Amino acid sequence: MEKIKILIVEDHEVVIKGIRALLEPYNEIDIIGYALEAEDAQKKMETLEPDIIIMDINLPGMSGIELTKIISDEYPGTKVIYYTSHVDERLITDGFEAGAFGYVPKDFSTEELVEAIHMVNDGQKYMKGIVSEKFISSFLRSEKEKKFKQIMPLSERELEVLKYLSQGLSNKQIADKLFISIRTVETHKHNLMKKLNIYSTAELVIYAIQNNIIQI
């Protein structure tokens, strides 16, 4: 198995050591280096070619969000996960708009950080719990919510799956309600995201709210 190459960008060496200690037991993950600030991170990007950068938002000099924009533009093969103590609505929204793929608060478990690494490595966005709630809250107050207005017709079954997903039901619960298999639910979810150009469950919830599929 090809390992997932990780570059850590964090201005506190004790945190870097902590992340290393958390991830070293996972054989599929290879921590290839670290940088204490954005300029050093840019230099190491060219030589190390990481798959994922685990980054704090608050960095000396250039912020993590500014660095994310550069990485998204110049190194599209590298994906950014924020690993930070700051769970702020504006920062979450700005971070994802800059091109980040994941947002993991430092009080999340090691398993959740590893889950984020795998999901992001597979090209999926990662946001859970308080991050999803704050992202949705912030996005709904933004003019950018207009992009979620319905542009593609959905089938009756797709609408049912979307409604139940937005209510927080698991794939198994949806399958039981609709008398279909879990695999069929997963297929409908995949088709929904593809049709709507949406990459996370949180964004599906926003879409459902904006198009009156569910009420809040």
94-141 residue pLDDT tens: 888 888 898 888 888 899 999 999 999 988 888 776 555 566 555 555
Using a pLDDT cut of 90, give the percent of the chain over it.
44
- Domain 146-210 CATH class label: mainly alpha
Cα(96)–Cα(87) distance, integer angstroms = 13
SS3 7: strand
Answer whether 0.85 is exceeded by the pTM: no
What are the residue ranges of CATH 3.40.50.2300 in the chain? Answer: 4-139
Contact 78, 52 (CB under 8 A): yes
CATH topology of domain 4-139: Rossmann fold (3.40.50)
Place of tokens 């600030």: 37
The residue type found at 151 is I
CATH 1.10.10.10 region(s) of the chain?
A: 146-210
Whether residue 143 is predicted with pLDDT greater than 50 in this model: the reply is no
What DSSP character marks residue 179?
Answer: T
Kindly calculate the radius of gyration of the chain based on its CA atoms and give it in whole angstroms. 18
Pairing of strands 29-35, 52-55: unpaired
